[in-house]
Structure formats: structure tokens, C-alpha cells
Homo-oligomer: A and B are copies of this chain.
């Protein structure tokens, strides 16, 4: 089964008439994860038919406004609509207090539990959702900022139902077989697991890397990912500006994807100076051909 990534915003810094600040929804096996939440993210989820009440986890890269100023409105709306399901938020230090202050100013309360995990040191964190192992990996921006690496949790083999029925395997044994165990019949005959199940499909990996200077030293972490979203604020002719502001160029995004041998590169977080993105796309593709623009409203299969 594939994961799906829907882009809510692909612009940097401020919205333009046609583009919006960062946000994306990673859906996998019924679990929805929101990654960054720029202003207007809740509105775009509405427009794109994504039920934000079914988001279980939110990961925030850093506390520049274009990456999180839509979060307070989203949490507010979740409460207004009577959400009961707990929510987990992973973010740099400071957001929990800010949220509490905003709730207090409105004399309100959250109708659901929010568990904040605040990342407050420049180190790697190992986290998990119900479907993913997640690594929060510090990158190089003007303030503490984390990239997120999602690796599908070690998953089970696919049951060969026909074979199980043929050997009269009781349903109560199915989980053990999916976990790789052989089956021993009541008569003591051992049926090898390989006859009862098929190998798991290749594990899915997804990397979210924004906002940061080019960090080729991190390519090993993201090696073999099905897809990586890498920020592409500038064309490479503005490398000096990218370095000064803690960002990357399209060429560098392509180089990262090539060095990490990922399947697909999505580029986004474009400077508002670019009215259209073909030059950025061409630049990244010159290094890594399987590159696409992360278009707002589009969903991408991560497989």
C-alpha cells in the first residue's frame, strides 16, 4: 500500500495571490500526519477534502511564521467542532506555552488532549506514529529547525490466505504467521512460514527537508527514500543569498536527491520572486531527473 502526500502550500515566507506557506498531509494506512502548518492550512484542507479531525500527529519544522502560524487556528477549529481524539504535536520548544496563552486569552479550553513533544536541543530525536518511525534531524537555518524522516514501521508479511486455509491454520495464528513464524499443526507437522505468507512489500520512506542550507552530510540518513521534499527557495544564481538566509537552491536539492539515491524529489518553499517555477524545476532536473514541483492541491503517491 502506498502513502499519499498532499501539498497545502509551497511558498516561502509570505503568501502570494496563487501560493501559500508551508504545509502538507502525509496519509498512510488510515493515519494522517500534518507536516508544518502555515497560515490558511485548515482552509486548504477543507478545500482539498481532507478531514482535519482525523489528523493524529503534527510535526512542525521550526518557528518561523510561515511554518506554524496556521496551527493555532486549526487547533481552535478542532475544539469548536468538538474533537475528542487526542493529538500529538512535535515541534521546537516554545509552542506549547504559546498555545496555552492563546487558549487563555480566549478564555477557552481544548476539547481534546494535546501532547506536545518539544525539541529543544540540537540533536536527533527518535519518535514514532502508529505507522511510521520518525527521526527529527536538526538542519541548518537561522533558528533551530528540524527535518523529518518517516520510515514505514517494520511491517508484516502478507498472509497467503489460500495456503492458510489449505493447512487449516486457525485465525488465532494469523498474526504470528504475518510476523514470520512457522505453523505447527495439531499433528506436529511444521509448515514453513514461506508457504503461508509472502514477503512484505519494500518499506516506504519519506523525507521532509526545509528550511536549511544544503546539507550533503545528511544524505545517508535519507538514503533510499521513496521520496524527499527538499526546499528550493532560490535558483543557484542566488547561492549567496541562499547561504546568507539559511536556504538551499534548486541545484542543491537535486544534488541531495542524487547523493541520497531517493526515488523521487519534490521541490517547494519557493521564493515569492518566482512567478512560475519551470526554471527551478529544470535546474533540479539537470542533476536529478525524477524531480517534480510540489504543486498545491496535488497528491503524490509515495511508494
A13 touches B98 (CB 8 A): no
A142 in the interface (beta carbon within 8 A): yes
Shortest 3 CB-CB contacts between residues of A and residues of B? A14-B77, A65-B76, A39-B73
Return chain B residues, CB-CB under 8 Å to A72: 65, 69
Q: How far is the CA of A157 from the CA of B35 in the complex (A)?
A: 59
Return chain B residues, CB-CB under 8 Å to A207: none
A279 in the interface (beta carbon within 8 A): no
CB-based nearest B residue for A97:
B101
16 residue pairs of the A-B complex, CB under 8 angstroms, read A14-B42, A14-B76, A14-B81, A15-B77, A39-B40, A39-B73, A40-B43, A64-B106, A64-B108, A65-B72, A65-B73, A66-B73, A69-B76, A94-B101, A98-B98, A107-B142
- Chain A's interface size range is 35 or more
Q: How far is the CA of A97 from the CA of B102 in the complex (A)?
A: 11
CB-based nearest B residue for A67:
B106
With known contacts A40-B40, A76-B65, A46–B98 Cβ distance under 8 A: no
Return chain B residues, CB-CB under 8 Å to A98: 98, 101-102, 105
Q: How far is the CA of A66 from the CA of B108 in the complex (A)?
A: 13
CB-based nearest B residue for A71:
B69
Residues on A facing B (Cβ under 8 Å):
13-17, 20, 39-40, 42-43, 46-47, 63-66, 69-70, 72-73, 76-77, 80-81, 94-95, 97-98, 101-102, 105-108, 142-143
Q: A234 to chain B: closest CB distance in Å?
A: 15
B80 touches A73 (CB 8 A): no
Q: How far is the CA of A108 from the CA of B46 in the complex (A)?
A: 31
Return chain B residues, CB-CB under 8 Å to A39: 39-40, 42-43, 70, 73
Q: A161 to chain B: closest CB distance in Å?
A: 42
